């Protein structure tokens, strides 16, 4: 569904991405992981066209995204950015309805169908009860869920999430990831998410891309990517990987210096 071919990207004289090559299949949940400064958000912004993408490097359904009009791109890819601050004090329901903009003609009001789609997205993210509040009157975690609802309401086949659970408590982290995974499975939605929690990346991902210093260090099956050796080399952190006694899945435990 998404192919990335020899993508490199620089800010002035600093190379941030170096020869990235990825094949992203329809209906899979992908996590992009790596230490701070590894290029994760820059890769995210290239895929979403938030940055000026080099030609013939990123393709969606075999079409160069530099040749896809903005409105058409918005029907293919929805985004949840890292920064969810909103300058204007719209109501929550109006924020979510903005996800329907690509489907409206100029000056056209939302239809009953658009409102039902928005309501469904808000119910999935547990934000419907906030619909009449102003976006800047709710908490940061609630705002994060509203922005995810907007992305769901956009009804795309690809959703990009830049640290979607960064401002949420553990209950809401699991609730949001469960919701996104359910969409991924039931609607065959392609998910590309930046995650910092390696255990959550292990639990939810079909494949993982491990970045370091702008390069792909490892990619593919989460259990083969997140090895003790890879984590030590990339994060400069010793870990033990054990079998979770409840699930039988691998679980990563940091080994702190005082215990070495």
Give domain 2-220's CATH number out of 3.40.50.300, 1.10.357.10, 3.90.1150.10, 3.30.70.930: 3.40.50.300
Q: Say if residue 83's pLDDT is above 80.
A: no
Q: Where in the chain is the domain with CATH 3.40.50.300?
A: 2-220
Per cent of the chain over pLDDT 70 is 98
| Residue 243, C-beta contacts closer than 8 angstroms, at least 6 positions apart | 249, 250, 251
Model confidence pLDDT, tens digit, residues 184-201: 998 899 999 999 999 999
Q: Which of 58, 52, 38 is nearest to 215 (CA)?
A: 38
The pLDDT of residue 110 is: 85
Model confidence pLDDT, tens digit, residues 125-166: 889 999 999 999 998 888 888 999 999 999 999 999 998 887
pTM score over 0.85: yes
**Averaged pLDDT of the chain:** 91
């Amino acid at each position: 569904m998404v192919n990335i071919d020899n993508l490199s990207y620089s800010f002035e004289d600093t190379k941030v991405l170096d020869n990235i090559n990825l094949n992203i299949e329809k209906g899979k949940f992908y996590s992009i992981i790596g230490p701070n400064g590894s290029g994760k958000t820059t890769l995210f912004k290239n895929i979403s066209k938030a940055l000026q993408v080099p030609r013939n490097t990123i393709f969606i359904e075999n079409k160069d995204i530099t040749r896809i009009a903005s409105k058409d791109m918005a029907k293919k890819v929805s985004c949840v950015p890292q920064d969810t601050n909103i300058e204007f004090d719209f109501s929550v329901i109006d924020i979510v309805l903005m996800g329907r903009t690509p489907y409206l003609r100029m000056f056209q009001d939302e239809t009953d169908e658009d409102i039902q789609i928005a309501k469904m997205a808000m119910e999935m993210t547990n934000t419907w009860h906030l619909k009449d509040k102003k976006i800047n009157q709710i908490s940061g975690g609630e705002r994060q869920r509203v922005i995810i609802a907007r992305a769901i309401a956009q009804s795309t086949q690809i959703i990009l999430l830049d640290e979607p659970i960064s401002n949420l408590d553990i209950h809401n982290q699991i609730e949001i990831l469960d919701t996104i995974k359910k969409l991924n499975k039931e609607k065959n939605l392609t998910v590309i998410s930046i995650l910092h929690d390696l255990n959550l990346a292990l639990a939810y991902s079909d494949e993982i891309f491990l970045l370091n210093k702008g390069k792909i260090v490892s990619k593919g099956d989460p259990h083969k990517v997140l090895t003790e050796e890879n984590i030590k080399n990339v994060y400069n952190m010793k870990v033990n990987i054990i079998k979770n006694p409840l699930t039988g899945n691998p679980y990563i435990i940091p080994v702190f210096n005082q215990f070495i």
